[in-house]
Amino acid sequence: ILVMLLPGSDAGIVAREVSTALSRTLGGPVTAAGQAVGLIKEHSSDWRHLPQAYAAARDCLTAMLALGRDGQRATMADLGFVGVVLSGGDSPGAFVTGALGPVLDYDAARGTDLIDTVDAYFGSGCHLGHTATLLHVHPDALGQRLSRIGKLLGDDWVEPQRALEIQLALRLRTLLGPVPA
């Protein structure tokens, strides 16, 4: 990983130019994450924004790699909801815990994988047959799991607005890695 501080007013354009030039020079794709930094005047010693900019660029790069965007260039703004949530400091982990906490706690206490059932259910378009096949379980066993999940997350867990929140949390959990229960 190489972090470079470069001049420019548009972090996305700078990331694209650097990625293109380095890819040509190195003979292979280069992943570049851009992050804007407040304007630093020539001969200024006001470098206080650099640590935050570095951290944001590093988080953007980590997210890009987790999303399978190797060889591409992006800024947090280019990452859609992932960039919005990751831009919030400690909020991504809190968001995941808030949305999935009861299931994660249940799994941790009992050694189960209900969280994988939630992920598979949404990943198969909430289709019971496809989910059961994907998980290699009998449809009745899947029904029992989904009932348990409903008790843990609340009956509204499959309603559109809540389902979106849960799916976002699942995606962030994939990006962030396991969140402490």
Please state whether 39 falls in left (phi above 0), alpha (psi between -120 and 50) or beta.
beta
Give the side-chain half-sphere CA count within 13 A for 77: 8
Please give the model's pTM, rounded to 2 decimal places.
0.59
**Across residues 11-19, what is the average pLDDT?**
86
Q: How many angstroms separate the CA atoms of 118 and 142, rounded?
A: 10
Q: How confident is the model at residue 120 (pLDDT cuts 50, 70, 90)?
A: very high
Please state whether 33 falls in left (phi above 0), alpha (psi between -120 and 50) or beta.
beta
pLDDT tens for each residue of 29-88? 999 888 877 655 555 566 777 888 888 888 888 888 888 888 888 888 787 777 767 766
123 token code pair:
């990943």
Q: Is the pLDDT of residue 113 over 90?
A: yes
Q: Is the pLDDT of residue 13 over 80?
A: yes
153 token code pair:
């997350």
The mean of the pLDDT values for the chain is 85
- Contact at 8 Å (CB) between 163 and 122? yes
pLDDT of residue 49: 75
Return the DSSP state at 74.
Answer: E
Q: How many angstroms separate the CA atoms of 172 and 55, rounded?
A: 18
Mapped onto helix, strand or coil, the DSSP state of residue 114 is helix
Smallest Cα–Cα separation from 82: which of 22, 145, 172? Answer: 172
Return the DSSP state at 124.
Answer: T
Q: How many angstroms separate the CA atoms of 37 and 112, rounded?
A: 45
pLDDT tens for each residue of 145-175? 999 999 999 999 999 988 998 999 998 888 8
What sign does the dihedral 133-138-140-144 (CA atoms) show? Answer: negative
pLDDT of residue 8: 74
- Contact at 8 Å (CB) between 29 and 68? no
pLDDT of residue 42: 56
Q: How many angstroms separate the CA atoms of 126 and 128, rounded?
A: 6
pLDDT of residue 156: 92
